[in-house]
Amino acid sequence: MSNPTLPSGDDAALRPATTGDDEFLYRVYAGTRAEELALTNWTDAQKEQFCRMQFRAQSTDYAANYPAAQYSIIEHRRTAVGRLIVDRRESEINIVDIALLPDARGAGIGTRYLRELMDESRRAGKPLSIHVEKFNRALRLYHRLGFQPVADKGVYLLMEWKSPAAAPQ
């Protein structure tokens, strides 16, 4: 997308993910690994094999650890551009994953849904959490939005956002 602008309500939408979205979801996942795989000397076939294996492992892990999570496809101008997986628990709202295709990044699409989840968190009086890889460039976005690191999990940081109104006095 050239000259991206913040999506309006009519430009962006969430819809439930279905089994028919599996190949698209794989493409979103592969897009999140493209930069790091560009540093390898692997062939395109090796990169695809690795990404498919990792995507299956991630999907299996998410299904086992977040069985009640809501899986959504992010659409922009009626075109699928990403995924959002949210696990709403009694004590917190957890963003299991938010990812966009490379061409959709930087347009404010992810920010819109993060802000919507922050609003939901504020209304529910629950913290909003996400695990972020330490080298993920979205880490800057999370910091700008007010997420704070609460635990170092090795490769990942557990980050949390709490509504200023919900903070202890």
Q: Tell me if the pTM is above 0.75.
A: yes
Residue 166 pLDDT > 70: no
Q: Is the pLDDT of residue 50 over 80?
A: yes
Read off the tokens for 3: 């000259």
Of 139, 159, 163, the closest CA to residue 147 belongs to: 159
SS3 30: helix
d(Cα 67, Cα 114) in Å, to the nearest integer? Answer: 21
pLDDT at 65 over 80: yes
The C-alpha atoms of residue 48 and residue 35 are separated, in whole angstroms, by 13
Structure letter (DSSP) for residue 83: E
Show the DSSP H helices in 15-137 as ranges.
Answer: 22-37, 44-65, 109-124
| C-alpha to C-alpha distance for 107 and 1, rounded to whole angstroms | 8
Q: Which residues pair with 115 in a beta bridge?
A: none
Percent of the chain with pLDDT over 90: 85
Q: Looking at residue 9, what is its pLDDT?
A: 54
Higher pLDDT, 44 or 166: 44
Which has the closest alpha carbon to 100: 53, 126, 131, 138? 138
Q: Is 147 helix (H, G, I), strand (E, B) or coil?
A: coil
State residue 89's pLDDT score: 96
Tens of pLDDT, residues 98-146: 999 999 999 999 999 999 999 999 999 999 999 999 988 899 999 999 9
| Position 3 confidence tier, pLDDT thresholds 50, 70, 90 | very low
What is the structure's pLDDT at 2?
33
3-class SS of residue 25:
helix
Which of these ranges, 19-23, 36-40, 118-122, 165-169, has the smallest mean pLDDT? 165-169
What is the spatial distance between Cα 162 and Cα 160, in angstroms, rounded to a whole number?
7
Q: Region 4-20: what's the mean pLDDT?
A: 74
φ, ψ (nearest 5 deg) of residue 72: -125, 150
